[in-house]
Amino acid sequence: MDTLKRPEINAIIAQAFTQTNDAIGIFDPDDVVIYNNDPFAEIFGIDPAKIVGNSFVELITHCFNTKSGINVESDELAPWLKVALSKRRSSPFRSFETDTVDGRWYRITQLLVDDYLFMYATDITNSKNIEFELINTQKRLEELASTDFMTGIYNRRHFNRLAETELERCERNQLHASLVLIDIDFFKRINDKFGHAAGDAVLIELTQRIKSALRSYDIFARIGGEEFALLLPETTTDDAVKIAARYQEKISGTPFIFEKQQILVTASIGISESYPAIKTLDYILKSADENLYIAKQTGRNKIVCPPE
């Protein structure tokens, strides 16, 4: 078998570079393109015949100005370029992923050879889309595991996890924390009189009414059929009573409407507080539940808090 000579080998390599779907480009020591194949030009959204002689900065500037090629995720080009250039020739070998404005993804490999930068890029769009789908699926599964299927707020299990963490934070920082339990009065009567679909609609609407008044750091969950829990971090009992009164007004102040029927809804509320001696979540849940029971037994549609 004849041994190929270097010119023949170089010709085969050049032909392979031309035929491959992978992007190949070479930058000289001044970071100017001296060789490219067609797929390489596509990464920068430029005519393959016009890319040689352009510097890396010029190519990225073209991407930024024309909103094509590499996705420059910045409102200002200079800061983005500063970061990119600091990494560009920082090591003899470098590999990373980047996306383009039209949604493609590339795995880019850069190799320094005597100050010449060899750049090789493979289109990984399909595998990246699968990766994103897996991530989204995982997020959806986590959401399903942590939220109540009907109202979309946290379920009891996730509430317990978050509340325990927040109580530990309050304990470390010697902060108040109050727990509010809300239970719809005579919910069975609503189901019996208007139907279970109406009962479901009340639960969903009540959730939205309360959510509209929450602070960003409050933890809200449905923990039973018609029972809701709220952990109010950095909140004293007095403040919790005021907050609970607003929730109560949102529930009873405006009738619920289902299929043109007005449904009058009230709720009983029990409150407990963990400060100054921070209690466990089980303890303050039990305390709030006892106060909720008192509210139910003494007329409903009222708020009961710990005695002073």
Tokens linked to 22: 């992978």
Per the CB < 8 A criterion, the answer to whether 258 and 208 are in contact is no
Helix axes 196-211, 187-194, angle to 10 degrees: 130
Distance CA 222, CA 217 (A): 17
Per the CB < 8 A criterion, the answer to whether 23 and 42 are in contact is yes
CB atoms within 10 A of CB 72: 18
Half-sphere exposure (CA, 13 Å, Cβ side) for 23?
Answer: 22
Residue 223, φ and ψ in degrees, nearest 5: -110, 0
Distance CA 199, CA 211 (A): 18
Distance CA 190, CA 160 (A): 29
Residues with active-site annotation = 226
Distance CA 148, CA 161 (A): 15
Helix axes 156-172, 125-146, angle to 10 degrees: 80
